Amino acid sequence: MPVPDRRDIRNLLLKALSDDAFNMLTADARTIQLPVKHSLVDSDQPNEHVCFIEEGLASMVAANGDEEAVEVGHIGHEGMAGLHVVLKTDTTPNRTFIQVAGSGLQVSVENFTGMLAIFPAANQLFLNYMHCCDVQLAHSALANGRYNMHERLARWLLMCHDRLNGNGLPLTHEFLALMLGVRRSGVTNELHVIEGLGAIRTTRGHIRVIDRVRLEEIAAGSYGVPEREYERLIGLPIRRPATQNALSSR
Amino acid sequence: MPVPDRRDIRNLLLKALSDDAFNMLTADARTIQLPVKHSLVDSDQPNEHVCFIEEGLASMVAANGDEEAVEVGHIGHEGMAGLHVVLKTDTTPNRTFIQVAGSGLQVSVENFTGMLAIFPAANQLFLNYMHCCDVQLAHSALANGRYNMHERLARWLLMCHDRLNGNGLPLTHEFLALMLGVRRSGVTNELHVIEGLGAIRTTRGHIRVIDRVRLEEIAAGSYGVPEREYERLIGLPIRRPATQNALSSR
DNA sequence: CGATATTTCGTCAAAATCGTACAAACCCCG
DNA sequence: CGGGGTTTGTACGATTTTGACGAAATATCG
C-alpha cells in the first residue's frame, strides 16, 4: 500500500520531521497492515525494517532463558518499532510485536539510517525519542517494583488510551495479565474494582475508558513521568485530554 | 587529581577507546573521589560533567512525584554516569548517585560531546553502551515484575560482584532494601537463606561472595542477558569468572 | 441453528510480602 | 570504658498475589 498524504499522517515522529527528511524516508516506505501478534522485531535477529505505527499498538517485551516475560515498552502512533537501529545496533534481545491490530509505515533500515546521516535534526529527534523510551523503561521497572496491580493496571490502561483512538480498548484479561506479568484472574478482579470506581466499563474483550481523570487518580504516581518527558522533548502531546464521562466515541 | 596512566585505567569504556580519542577526552579530565551518596546526575538538572567510574558503584534510580523509587541501572567500572548526554539530551528525570565509594574520571560534557563528534568509532562505542543500558533497564523491569525477592537479591549481588574488586561487598540491608524496593527485614531473611545455601557469608555492613556459581543458580534467569549483550557489543568481559569457595581476596 | 472455541467469572487454600515494632548486636568516638 | 548511633535479628498480624480449578457466558463458524 502507498504512503498516505503527509497531512493524513498520524505518527507523531513523522509529523515532527522536516518535509525533506519525511520525503526521503517515505520514498522507500509502504503502508502495511499490522494484525495482532505480528512480529516487528525478533529477539537477537537483525531486522530489515523499522515501522512507524499509524494505528494500533505494539509492545516491546523483555524475555530470558526461563519462560518469563513482561512488557517493558509501549508503542503506538507516537513512536516506532525497531528503535535500536537508531543506535546502529544490529540486534536486541527484546521482542516487539503487535498487541492491538492497526497499520504502520514500514521503512527499510538502510533508508532510515541513511536519512539519519543526512538530516541532523531528524537524527536528534530520534535520539530524543530514544531517551523517552529509556525513561519509559525505567518507569516500567519502577511500576513493577513499587506499585501493586491496582495502580499498574490503571497505568497500563492510560498508556493504551493515549495511543489509541476513541475510548474503547480491545483487550482481553488474558492479554493484560501477560503484559503485566500477573495472574489472569487477578486482572479480572482489579478490573472490577476499577469499574466499581467508575473509571472504566468492561464488556467481553473490551474496556472502555469513561473517566480518565479518575483513572489517573488510581494510577497515582506510576503514570506520567515518561509522558511528560516525551512532550518536553518531542514537542507534541501524547497524553489524551482528560474527558470525563465520555460515553461517546467508541 | 591527575588522570592515571592509560595502562592503569580500569574503566572498560575508556579501555575500549582509541588512543587519540582517549587523549582528547582526558586532556580535560580529572580523577575525583566518589564518596557514598555523592550525586552524579540530579533529576531534571543539566549536568556539567559525565563520570567514568574507576572504582566503586553508582546507581541510576527512577523516582516520581510519590516518594517511590527503585534502582533501574547499575554502573561500575564498566560504564559511565550521565549517559543521557550521549543522546544529546540535556536532562533526565532519573537520578544517579554513588552507592559504594570509589573514584572516577570526570569529563566536561562539552569535551565529551566534542570527542564524540570527532571520533565516529568512539561515538559508536557509546551508542553500543547506551543499548546495553537499555537492555539492563528492560531486565530490571523484568526482574521486578516476574521474580521474587530471592532471585532478585541474587541478581543484585551478582551485578555488584561484577563491578567491584574482590569478593567483599560493602552493603547494608537497608541499602539493598531501598534499591530492590522491598522491606528491610525481608532482605535480612533472604540473605540468611542465601547464606544457608552457601553462596555468601554476611557480616555487619558486608557481604562476601563465596560461591558465585551457586549465586548464579539462585538468580536463575533474572541474571545474564544484559551482561552477555555488553560483552557482545563492547568486546570486553563484564561478568566475573565463576570462582567457587573464594575465601581469599577481600 | 448448533457446535466449538474463546473469554470471563468465581472460589479455595497457600505463599509471598508488607508494616510496624522492638530488642540485640555492633561500631565509633570521646 | 561507656554512650549513642547504626545495623541486624525476629516477631506479629494484615494484605497482596498466587496456582489451580471448574462453571458460565459469549463469540465464531459451518
Q: Using a CB-CB distance cutoff of 8 angstroms, which residues of chain A are in contact with residue B180?
A: 145
What does the pLDDT read at residue A249?
40
Contact B49, B30 (CB under 8 A): no
pLDDT in tens, B38-53: 999 999 999 999 999 9
CA B51, C1' D29: Å apart? Answer: 63
What does the pLDDT read at residue B243?
64
pLDDT in tens, A102-126: 999 999 999 999 999 999 999 999 9
The SS3 call for residue B79 is coil
Q: What rounded mean pLDDT belongs to chain B?
A: 94
Other beta carbons within 10 angstroms of residue A195's beta carbon come to 15
Lowest mean pLDDT among A15-19, A33-37, B91-95: A33-37
Structure pTM? Answer: 0.94
What does the pLDDT read at residue A243?
63
Q: How far is the alpha carbon of A34 from chain B, nearest alpha carbon, in Å?
A: 24
By the CB < 8 Å criterion, does B233 face chain A? yes
Mean of pLDDT values over B68-95: 96
**C-alpha cell read off for A95:** 521482542
What does the pLDDT read at residue B245?
52
Q: Residue for cell digits 577481600?
A: B250
- Bridge partners of A203, per DSSP, are A206
How many H helices and E strands in chain B?
A: 9, 9
pLDDT in tens, B226-240: 999 999 999 999 998
Could you tell me how many residues make up chain A? 250
Q: Which pLDDT band, with edges at 50, 70 and 90, does B78 fall under? A: very high
Put simply, the answer to whether A137 touches B137 (Cβ < 8 Å) is yes
By the CB < 8 Å criterion, does A75 face chain B? no
CATH of A6-119, one of 2.40.40.20, 3.40.50.2000, 3.40.190.10, 2.60.120.10: 2.60.120.10
Dihedral through CA A32, CA A38, CA A41, CA A42, nearest 10? -150
Please give the C-alpha separations between residue B21 and each of B111, B124, B125, in angstroms, as whole numbers. Answer: 11, 12, 11
pLDDT in tens, A224-237: 999 999 999 999 99
pLDDT of residue B246 exceeding 60? no
What does the pLDDT read at residue A250?
38
Mutate to test the interface with A, among B71, B116, B131, B136 (most CBs of A within 10 A): B131
The rounded distance, in Å, linking the Cα atoms of B1 and B228 is 34
Contact A98, A32 (CB under 8 A): no
- The DSSP annotation for A67-84 comes to S-EEEEEEESTT-EE-GG
Is A67 or A57 the better-scoring residue by pLDDT? A57
Other beta carbons within 10 angstroms of residue B73's beta carbon come to 25
**C-alpha cell read off for A168:** 474503547
pLDDT of residue B197 exceeding 60? yes
Dihedral through CA B112, CA B115, CA B120, CA B126, nearest 10? -20
What does the pLDDT read at residue B248?
42
- Sequence ranges of the domains in chain A: 6-119, 141-234
The rounded distance, in Å, linking the Cα atoms of A100 and B237 is 40
Residue A117: burial class (beta carbons within 10 Å; 0-12, 13-18, 19+): exposed
Mutate to test the interface with B, among A41, A59, A72 (most CBs of B within 10 A): A72
Which residues have CB under 7 A from strand D?
Answer: A 148-150, 181-183, 185-186, 203-205; B 172-174, 184-185, 188-189, 191-192, 202, 204-206
Q: What amino acid occupies position B68? A: E
The rounded distance, in Å, linking the Cα atoms of A70 and A181 is 6
The SS3 call for residue B127 is helix
Fold classification of B141-234 is Arc Repressor Mutant, subunit A (1.10.10)
- The chain A residue lying nearest B94, using CA atoms, is A135
What does the pLDDT read at residue A246?
44
Could you tell me how many residues make up chain B? 250
**C-alpha cell read off for B55:** 572504582
pLDDT of residue B183 exceeding 50? yes
Q: Which of residues 207-226 of A touch B (CB under 8 A)?
A: 220-222, 224-225
